Amino acid sequence: MGKFMTGKAVSESIQKQIIEKVTQFKQKNIFPKLTVVRCGNDGSDLAYEKGILKTMETCGIQVEIIKKEINISQTQFENTIKTLNADKNTHGILIFKPLPEQLCESKINNLITPEKDVDGSNTLNLGKVITDDQSGLFPCTPEAVMRLLNYYGISSRGKNVTLIGASIVVGKPLALMLINAGATVTICHKKTKDIKEMCQEADIVIAAAGAPRLIKANFIKKDSILVDVGINFVEGKMCGDIDEACYEKAGLITPVPGGVGGITTTILAENVVKACMLQN
């Protein structure tokens, strides 16, 4: 049976440093603040919001939630972002995605001032991932995976990593971060012919597809490292993209829940503090 890499210890070690920085800001009368924009009342948005409120409270970061109607127009949404860009008390802006379909997500991502883009979703910050420019605000979930590996002493240098999922928020930036760290990365997605074959030689398998229990025990090699980013609900129960049957064969595994998820909101808090530094 492999060993579990839980997210709690990783989050706590990062939060300690965040709290110190927030205290220093407060001594200078600067109060780090995150503003979240949410359209409608989607269940997964509300769950994410709950996690954000809890983490920000722990870190001493203020949060404001701006609620918008699901039928908001592009102009109205853009005006909200422009107001937040100009608001000196808001250091970080987070928009819940996916946005309602009448809105142009890429245009909105690029409207956010790069120094307030705590989700790392505009092209300037994504470009900084390519060049490994640490002045950027990096997307939270990919950064969470990198910090998890780092915390557990796993170097990606020279390792074969198979990554399942190539989205802009998770898979693609994570692939670049892994390459920057010296890994050889194979990226799989929905059109990949044989995921099993791609996983079999991997030292590290990272699943971020949103496909319940996609990775089976016969896909992985013995003692490999498995990182499960997936969050799925099957018959009301949360599960990841990695079948629990893999746990027996793997060396190290992240559980779902209790793995990467909690680290993501901690990285969001860290990005708010970094944004605050960039603006002061």
* Residue ranges that bind ligand NAD, judged by CB under 6 A: 141, 164-167, 169-171, 188-190, 192, 195, 208-211, 214, 229-232, 260-261, 264
Closer CB to ligand NAD, residue 5 or residue 25?
5
Question: Are 1 and 253 a contacting pair, CB within 8 Å?
Answer: no
Closer CB to ligand NAD, residue 188 or residue 242?
188
Strands of the sheet containing 62-68, edge to edge, are: 62-68, 33-39, 92-95
CB of 143 to ligand NAD, least distance (A): 10
CB of 228 to ligand NAD, least distance (A): 8
Closer CB to ligand NAD, residue 169 or residue 278?
169
Tell me which residue has tokens 């129960």: 237
The alpha helices in the chain, defined as continuous H runs, are 7-27, 43-59, 74-86, 105-111, 123-130, 140-151, 171-180, 195-200, 260-279
Give the number of C-alpha atoms closer than 13 A to the C-alpha of residue 5, restricted to the C-beta side: 27
CB of 141 to ligand NAD, least distance (A): 4
Closer CB to ligand NAD, residue 169 or residue 252?
169
Closer CB to ligand NAD, residue 34 or residue 188?
188
Largest CA distance in the chain: 56
Rounded CA gap, 262 and 229, in Å? 11
CB of 209 to ligand NAD, least distance (A): 4
CB of 197 to ligand NAD, least distance (A): 13
Closer CB to ligand NAD, residue 40 or residue 210?
210
3-state DSSP call for residue 273?
helix
For 106, other C-beta atoms within 10 Å of its C-beta total 11
Strands of the sheet containing 184-188, edge to edge, are: 3-4, 252-253, 225-228, 204-207, 160-164, 184-188
CB of 206 to ligand NAD, least distance (A): 10
- Which amino acid, residue 153? G
